A and B are shown apart, each in its own frame.
Chain A
Amino acid sequence: MSKQTLIQRHTASERLNHWMVAITFILAGLSGLGFFHPLFFWLTSLFGGGTWARILHPFFGAALSFFFFIWVARVWNDNRITAVDWQWGKHLGEILRNRTENLPPLGKYNLGQKLLTRTLLLAILLLLVSGILIWQPWFAPEFSVNLRRNAVVVHAFSAFVALTCFIVHVYAAYWTRGSIRAMTRGTVTATWARHHFAGWYKEMEGKNQ
């Protein structure tokens, strides 16, 4: 494989899935932030005002959960954490300083990505469950006020975790040059693949031969 070769990293269907997650996440995030703190209430204007944001937010959240759970099911096999991943993790300090020599060869995803998947899965599960408990007017009246008090705390905390994951994910994609095209055009350069995911690169090389 030449260095210039492009390697398929995500199929069109995977990319579509990813962007459905991204869009619903952004919609749920922006409408939800409006209720998170008065500082962000103006964001509800993007959805036609406070009442519309309140009506739409849970549907965005439900759609996000739907697309995200499908996504996780699809990438789960490549997300199993291996000994190599932990070895890679020990070099995190160097990696953050762009010193990437002496890194072990990784599979399709690195430890950061794998932990992100798990954290988001947990956060979105908690958001879904706590969200149903406080979903007005459909479900909330069925649950006790005390249960709902717990739910709002869990919902706010999980939202914070999910938003932090989002910030880390977006930044990491931007910081690691050549990554974003994997989710837009579906391909990465062979150089990129060999550098970041040597194990996966070898595997793909083998397939192509």
Chain B
Amino acid sequence: MTLQSLDIKRRSATTTPSPNARTTLEVVKLIDISKCIGCKACQVACMEWNDLRDTVGKNRGVYDNPADLSDQSWTVMRFAEVEPTPGRLEWLIRKDGCMHCADPGCLKSCPAPGAIIQYSNGIVDFHEEACVGCGYCIIGCPFNIPRLSRKDGKAYKCTLCSDRVAVNLEPACAKTCPTGAIIFGSKEDMLQHATGRIADLKERGYQQAGLYNPPGVGGTHVMYVLQHADRPELYQGLPKDPGISPLVVLWKEIAKTVMNIGLGAAIASGVIHYLTQGPNEVTEEKEETL
């Protein structure tokens, strides 16, 4: 988070309302996998705009480079060679990065007030200055996105270029994409555009084409147009029905509320017991009569 904002929907570890005098238009980044040629211009644009430089890794004999997301690589292309139907090879290339969930598991898990911010436009942003480095966002995320920096112990991930969006620019990756596989706009426009793309794909024989906007996390603000929407796992393990783990819900929502009440009750019982029963005292006289 780089700018002060008056359009915050939710802050991590905060029990009072966030500043939300302003409400902005809900935005979506739509990634049309059928149009992606795997050029990695989006990775470069992300590095350039955010001024990040990952360390040079090792060639693992595959196109994925860097091999994984990191504190310096907020988006990576994941290449999958699959045969959705036997004998028909397809090269599916997915731009991986934060999905900007409407119900973000990272934000739910984060114990540091204001370290994770959800804007009314749907962007989920990390405010690293408030991050304590506990790694709970990693535990909460259903998409395995946040990465802790070895250097400063803070968690990093795609910001959806919140700094650019705040001044009416599109994210750097969308700006640079040469094929128009990444487009950015209002949620309404993007859904409409996706509908057209899906109809087109179906016409071309991809009967299972569809939009990836998983309801388990309340929908996302990064959506994919998939040729095989019935099998998202083909795209290097995109989860079929992602949601915040029931363990995280148990941990953050149920258990802690019950436990706070439990601790309060234990203290209250002690006070009430002492006031009604008095101390357990042995006096000399009492002892003599025994």
Question: Which residues in A have some Cβ–Cβ distance to B below 8 Å?
Answer: 3, 34-39, 41, 44, 50-51, 53-55, 95-98, 100, 134, 136-137, 140-141, 145-146, 148-150, 152-153, 156-157, 160, 163-164, 167-168, 171, 174-178, 191-192, 194-196
Contacts and interface: CB of A to CB of B under 8 A. Distances in A.
B132 A53 contact: yes
B139 A167 contact: no
A177 B255 contact: no
B280 A175 contact: yes
B277 A39 contact: no
B287 A194 contact: yes
Interface in B98-121: 109, 111-113
Contact of A98 (B259, B260, B277): B277
A191 B287 contact: yes
Interface of B: 13-15, 109, 111-113, 130-136, 138-139, 144, 148, 150, 153, 245, 247-248, 250-251, 255-256, 259-260, 262-263, 266-267, 270, 273-274, 277-282, 284, 287
A170 B135 CA distance: 33
A9 to B, nearest CB: 15
A182 to B, nearest CB: 13
B66 to A, nearest CB: 17
Contact of B245 (A100, A149, A164, A168): A149
A156 B139 contact: no
B266 A168 contact: yes
Given A137-B135, A171-B274, 12 more contacts: A3-B284, A38-B111, A41-B113, A51-B132, A98-B278, A100-B280, A134-B135, A145-B138, A149-B247, A153-B255, A156-B255, A194-B287
CB-based closest 5 A-B pairs: A50-B132, A171-B270, A160-B259, A35-B111, A38-B13
A149 B287 contact: no
A3 B267 CA distance: 34
B111 A177 contact: no
27 contacts: A34-B111, A38-B111, A41-B13, A50-B130, A51-B132, A54-B133, A97-B277, A134-B134, A136-B134, A136-B153, A137-B148, A137-B150, A141-B148, A148-B138, A149-B251, A152-B247, A153-B250, A156-B251, A156-B259, A160-B262, A164-B263, A171-B274, A175-B274, A175-B279, A194-B287, A195-B282, A196-B282
